[in-house]
Structure 1
C-alpha cells in the first residue's frame, strides 16, 4: 500500500498543480531565463496578493548636500517604494534592510507577522524599486536616518516599532536616539553601536561594482555564494532574495543588480573607518531585541556585553548563521512575535532552526 503524502504536500499540490516536492541535497538547475521566470512565478508570486506596493516622496534636505556648491543646494524629491502588509489598525513595524538589500527580503517575516501587525518594508534610496539620488555624495548614513524619519512621519500612525538589519539597524539606532518619540520598540538584526573597520572594509570591497548575469546558473551561483552567512535557508527563500536584488536589462542582455552602484561606492568610501555609535546608544531608552547571528563578524561578543551592561536588551542568538539572518525561519519569527506581544521571557536565549518551509514532511 502506497504511503499517503504528508498534509503539506497535499496542500501544495492542490494550490499549485505544477508543484514538485524538493529532493533533499539537490539544488534546482535552471538553464534558461524562461525557466527562471517560471520558477519566479511560483516562488515570488505567492506573495503578490498579500501586500500593497506604495510610494512616497522623500525630500532630500540641503543640510545633507554638503559636497555640492551652496548655490546649487535645494531640497529635491526622491520616490521611495515600500510594501505595506496587514491592517493599518494594528501596531506598525517598519523594516529597513542592509546596504545591498531590498524590502522584499522581509517577505517571510512580514507574512508571519501580518495577522497581528501592520508591517511596512521599504527600499533605501538607490536600491530596489526606489529612485536614485542626484549625486554619489548624497548617499550617507545621515541620509538613511532622515529617510527613515520621513518614512515614519509619512505613515501618520504614531510611534512605531523599527526593525533594522545591518545598515538599517545603524540608521535605527541614530534615529531612536535623536527622535525617541517616533520609536516605541527597536529590533536590531545582527547589528550594534560598533562595527570594526576591518569588517566594513571587507564588505565594501565585495559590493561597489557592476556585474551582468548572463544565465540563471551564474546568477544563482554568485549571489548564492554571497548569501553563505544567511544561515540554513531553503532554495526558495534564497531565490526570493536573489530575484528581488536583480532585474532584467535589455541593454546588457542579462540580469543586473537592482541598485545604484554610486550608493555602494559611497559606502565603500565611508567604510574605511570603524562605525562608533556608542554616544547614540546611551540615549536609546525604548525596549530592544537584539538578534545575533552566532557566526557574525559584524556583531561581536564584546559589543553585545557592553550593550547589555548599559541597557535592558533581550538577545536572541541564531546558530549556524552569520551576518545577517534573513528572518525567514518560523521559530525566529515566532520569538520576534512573542517579544512584540510582551511575552519575551528570559533575557537571552538560543533559538533552534525550524523545519525549512519547502520541506514536505
Structure 2
C-alpha cells in the first residue's frame, strides 16, 4: 500500500493506493478517525462515478466519530485503467473491494452504495454476511429498470469536444435538468468537477470510456438479471433506501417490495432529483446522518 498526501487539502482525507488481486493499482480515500468507537462507513460509487462523490457525507460522518473509506473502482477516479474492459465486471470489482478493505483493516462496516455500489453492497452481504452491518442504498434496488439503463447507455463513455469546465457544467444542466430540477447552481458546479477534469485546454472524463462496453447487452429487447437473492441476505440488517423523486432506475413498486421483504428498511425520497441523487444537499446529508446515528 502506498500513501500519498491528501488530494483535497480542505478535507482530512488521505489518498491511498493498493494492489488488486491481479496487480492493478487501486485508489481509495481514507478519512481517518483514530479515536473512532463506531463502525466505519464504506462508500461505493456508481458505474462511472468516483470516490469524490462522497466528500460531504464523509465530512459529516467523520465529524460524528466515524472513519470513512470511499473507493475508486478500477478504471475510475485515480485507480488504474484496465487494458481489458471485460474485467470491469461485478465479480472482479468485488474482489477489488475486498482487497481494499483488507488493506484498510476493515472487517465490518456500514456501507453506502450509489447505484452499482448498492448492487455491490447486496452481493457483499451475501458473500460475507459479517461484513455488512447496515446499508444505505442510493437509488438502487434488486430490480433495475430498463428505461434507466438505456438512458445511461446513451451517455456513458461519450463526451462532445469541450475546452472548459464551464462548458461541461452547461452540458450537464442542459441534459439532466428535467430530472434534477432541485439541484442548485453551486451543486451543479461541484458535480461537474467530480465528473470531468480539465487538461491542456480540453475536458476529459474521470473514468475509462471503455466502460461503455459493459452496457453492450443493454437493448430494448433484453432481459436483465435481478438481485433479489443477494438482497435477501441484506434484508436482515438496517437499510436506508434513498430514491430520487424522478428516478428511472428504482421504481416505487420495487421500493415497496424491498420494504415488504426487509422489515428494518427505512425510506427517504430526494425531491427534485433523479438517478442518482448527488448526495450534496443538506437535507439528504442530514437524513443519512440520522440513520447512521442509530447504527453501531
Q: Which residue of 2 aligns with 1:276?
A: 226
> Of the candidates 108, 116, 119, which is equivalent to residue 159 of structure 1?
108
What CA distance in whole angstroms lies between the structure 2 residues aligned with 1:332 and 1:210? 29
Given that residues 30 and 70 in structure 2 are in contact (C-alpha distance below 8 angstroms), is that contact kept between their aligned partners in structure 1? yes
Q: CA deviation at 1:232?
A: 2.2
Q: Which residue of 1 aligns with 2:33?
A: 87
Q: Which residue of 2 aligns with 1:36?
A: none
Given that residues 165 and 197 in structure 2 are in contact (C-alpha distance below 8 angstroms), is that contact kept between their aligned partners in structure 1? no
What CA distance in whole angstroms lies between the structure 2 residues aligned with 1:283 and 1:244? 32
> Of the candidates 198, 206, 210, which is equivalent to residue 147 of structure 2?
198
SS in 1 for 2:141: coil
What CA distance in whole angstroms lies between the structure 1 residues aligned with 2:277 and 2:35? 29
What CA distance in whole angstroms lies between the structure 1 residues aligned with 2:161 and 2:23? 29
Are 2:50 and 1:98 equivalent residues in the alignment? no
Are 2:273 and 1:321 equivalent residues in the alignment? yes
Q: May I ask how many residue pairs the two structures share in their alignment? A: 281
Q: Which residue of 2 aligns with 1:291?
A: 242
Q: Which residue of 2 aligns with 1:243?
A: 193
Q: CA deviation at 1:127?
A: 0.9
Residues 1-361 of structure 1 correspond to what in structure 2 (within 5 A)? 48-59=10-21, 76-90=22-36, 91-115=39-63, 116-228=65-177, 229-230=179-180, 232-250=182-200, 253-269=201-217, 272-284=222-234, 285-312=236-263, 313-342=265-294
Given that residues 119 and 142 in structure 2 are in contact (C-alpha distance below 8 angstroms), is that contact kept between their aligned partners in structure 1? yes
What CA distance in whole angstroms lies between the structure 1 residues aligned with 2:11 and 2:171? 30
Question: Structure 1 94/230 Cα, relative in aligned 2: closer, same or farther at 3 Å?
Answer: farther
Q: CA deviation at 1:197?
A: 2.3
Q: Structure 1 length as normaliser, TM-score?
A: 0.72
Tell me the alpha carbon deviations over residues 296-344 of structure 1, each in whole angstroms, 9 at most, x when there is no partner. 111111111111111121111222221111111222212211211218x
Given that residues 231 and 320 in structure 1 are in contact (C-alpha distance below 8 angstroms), is that contact kept between their aligned partners in structure 2? yes
What CA distance in whole angstroms lies between the structure 2 residues aligned with 1:157 and 1:139? 23
Q: Which runs of 5 or more residues in structure 1 are unaligned? A: 1-44, 60-75, 344-361
What CA distance in whole angstroms lies between the structure 1 residues aligned with 2:193 and 2:272? 24
Question: Structure 1 294/309 Cα, relative in aligned 2: closer, same or farther at 3 Å?
Answer: same
Given that residues 43 and 70 in structure 2 are in contact (C-alpha distance below 8 angstroms), is that contact kept between their aligned partners in structure 1? yes
What CA distance in whole angstroms lies between the structure 2 residues aligned with 1:280 and 1:101? 23
Q: CA deviation at 1:151?
A: 2.2
CA RMSD, aligned part only?
2.1
Larger CA Rg, structure 1 vs 2: 1
